[in-house]
Structure 1
Amino acid sequence: MKKLVKQKTPPAGVLPESLEKTERRLPAAALKALAVLASHTEAGKPGEYGWIPEKAAALLGSMPKGELVDTVLALTERFVMAVTAMREETITLAICEFGMHPHEAEKLNLPTMLGSLAGLGLPAIDAANACATCAFRQGSCANQCPATVSDALGCIESKGSPFFCHEGVATGTDPKRVCRGYALALKALNA
């Protein structure tokens, strides 16, 4: 059995070495752009989460090409680090708080970068006609989990094996309904 080691959180103002390197190589304008792009508050609407496309476009559009490339690379690096950290923290939580065996916790179907990229390969559907947790809804948790996306793609490619809806299905039971997103995706592909 793996021995769990609690990671130490750096003191306020101290960044992990990889982040310090990122910040040292970026010009001030790029750091400002990253801060705005990562902002979760739109002026006048405190606490609302979301992307602010107008600000992102204005900042990125005004940057010289070299700074833009560095900014996009730094943003991607931060994104990968955040997704990886969330996955590892979720596994630690499953082990420590819910008593899950470490080997089982590592098998959890959690969002990953590769799962997120693979999810882009699923046919686009009208999200308003699908469950909030639908694997065919771009950006949903299921749309970013490698095992789920792989199953959905396999069902789409075979056109014979249905992909089932998992919304509201109790743990330990099999889903009974065909996924609405799957049906919409097949319809779009056959149109």
Structure 2
Amino acid sequence: MSENGKRTYTVPVLLIIIVIMSTLIVILYSKLLISQQLHTTDQGQRLAERYAYAVIFADRLHDGTDGLLIAKSEVERLRAIKLLGEATITSSEMLGMLVEAAHLDSGLEREEAAKPLMLAVNAFMGFEGIITKLAEHEGPLSADESASVTIIRDGAAQMKEALSRFRPPSGEAGFRQMMTIGEWIAPALEATKSLEQIAAGLK
């Protein structure tokens, strides 16, 4: 077979191989993009849920402490304690969101970012915290208790105000934006400051 004949067959075969390889690369890359997109969507959805729980936490903490301060009867006091119980239930999800914000903002490992947040929340919601003690409290608050509850209420109001600056998304596109754009991080960091101020005020 002549050199020209070999060239005639070689070029089409190479073109076919190139086309096949290009197609495979496009397919594999598309699958990778879809996988990454799904992962980002799942992460964003989880964050959005935690952000919503943080909003509930701040709301219940504020309304519960405010209710204790103005309670005139045992029924009103128990209603306030119930709200504080709901705040306690949502506190772990709230902390998860704030830890993620601190991690993304500072680059700290999540475990390191969590330490000051845990200390701040335990200052008033831990086993020895005033919220826990008030759950077993009977009768009107003492002057010192009222002062502590006021600090918590005011801090919770600041936290509510900070978190209200961002509305958690509800659709897949919004979930992905939550991970990629990060508009929620600044309000979350402001909420963290409010928690730290509560803990500092109770010392």
TM-score normalised by L of structure 1: 0.31
Which structure carries more helix by proportion? 2
Q: Which has the higher contact order (CA 8 A, sep 6+)?
A: 2
